[in-house]
């Protein structure tokens, strides 16, 4: 089957109100597809779901070791964080350690998703800084690598040594030659490949030795879900629910990836209409299907069969995984 298939359904009372379609692939350690839905050859942009790939050159170049980066810092390089104090405090120290400031970021300022930080900025009449950008962890990794390579300041230029290293890592881990790139919300290039290529890359992260670059990033993501996203976020909630044994990563426009080291499996999924609620639902159900997530865990139920409440807190329906994923 090459067309998108139903992945999540919205029911209002007894009526099926909406359906979200998409594609998903599960690959094993050999990079072979063991199951797929829709079109595994669909060309996709994994967006932030591929941040761990973009972080590989930071370790492989020797930069992480040279700067003594910790497991927490490696988690931040893979993060789409809320901009809470737990994130920005670590990033500020890191900036100082590499002799950089907020002005050196090229991701742009973003109002933080963390309510406490957001409310504090509003009350003080302050504007958000670039450090509040959900991608600032990835960008500080870029800055650190650029320092180590003695490369120029414009580290988001596709021709820059940092981005060339990211492209090499992307093509090596996906096993494909990228047909091109789009510019991400944080201004960095985001390379395209097939959906099965992303799943293959995640399987390679899953099967990598713990001491390898892939293994270090995988471990960081699993051990620090609070840094990877933040309170209330699907990545943080589901990694905790799985006992830090699986790493998952959301991406814009309905993307999600999963790394399952115990099973040596990788997962990639894309919701055709770009809806996050559907990608969260679908990845949770696939994790249940693979035995990584307890189907009766409250967090599993919240995402695979979650209630829809109206403004009076009355349950009017539910969002559930489509039968094709069960």
Query: pLDDT tens digits for 81-129?
Result: 999 999 999 999 999 999 999 999 999 999 999 999 999 999 999 999 9
pTM: 0.97
- Are 79 and 137 in contact, with CB atoms under 8 Å apart? yes
**How many other C-beta atoms lie within 10 A of the C-beta of residue 215?**
17
Question: For 30-43, what is the mean pLDDT?
Answer: 98
pLDDT at residue 218 tops 90: yes
- Are 300 and 288 in contact, with CB atoms under 8 Å apart? yes
- Are 137 and 90 in contact, with CB atoms under 8 Å apart? no
Residue 102's Cβ-count burial label (10 Å; 0-12, 13-18, 19+) is middle
The helix (run of H) or strand (run of E) holding residue 11 is strand 5-12
At residue 31, the pLDDT reads 97
- Pairing mode, if any, of strands 315-321 and 5-12? antiparallel
At residue 1, the pLDDT reads 53
At residue 232, the pLDDT reads 97
For the chain, list the domains and their CATH numbers. Answer: 5-325 (3.40.710)
Mean residue pLDDT of the chain comes to 98
């Amino acid at each position: 089957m090459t067309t998108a298939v139903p992945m999540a359904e919205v029911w209002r009372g007894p009526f099926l109100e909406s359906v979200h379609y998409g594609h998903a692939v599960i690959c094993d350690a050999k990079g072979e597809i063991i199951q797929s839905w829709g079109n595994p050859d669909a060309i996709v942009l994994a967006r932030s779901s591929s941040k761990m790939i973009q972080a590989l050159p930071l370790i492989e170049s020797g930069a992480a070791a040279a700067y003594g980066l910790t497991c927490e810092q490696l988690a931040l390089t893979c993060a789409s964080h809320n901009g809470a104090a737990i994130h920005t405090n670590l990033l500020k120290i890191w900036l100082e350690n590499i002799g950089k400031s907020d002005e050196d970021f090229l991701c742009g300022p973003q109002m933080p998703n963390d309510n406490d930080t957001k409310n504090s900025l509003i009350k003080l009449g302050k504007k958000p800084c670039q450090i509040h950008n959900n991608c600032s962890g990835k960008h500080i990794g870029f800055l650190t690598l650029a320092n180590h390579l003695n490369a120029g300041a414009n580290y988001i230029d596709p021709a820059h040594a940092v981005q060339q290293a990211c492209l090499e890592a992307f093509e090596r881990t996906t096993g494909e030659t990228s047909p091109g790139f789009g510019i991400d919300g944080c201004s960095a290039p985001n390379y395209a490949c097939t959906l099965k290529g992303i799943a293959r890359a995640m399987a390679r992260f899953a099967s990598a030795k713990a001491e390898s670059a892939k293994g270090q990033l995988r471990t960081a993501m699993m051990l620090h879900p609070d840094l990877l996203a933040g309170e209330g976020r699907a990545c943080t909630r589901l990694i905790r629910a799985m006992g830090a044994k699986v790493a998952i990563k959301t991406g814009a426009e309905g993307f999600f990836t999963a790394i399952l080291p115990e099973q040596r499996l990788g997962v990639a999924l894309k919701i055709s209409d770009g809806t996050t609620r559907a990608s969260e639902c679908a990845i949770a159900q696939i994790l249940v299907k693979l035995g990584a997530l307890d189907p009766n865990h409250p967090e599993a139920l919240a995402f695979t069969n979650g209630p829809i409440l109206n403004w009076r807190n009355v349950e009017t329906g539910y969002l559930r995984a489509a039968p094709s994923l069960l």
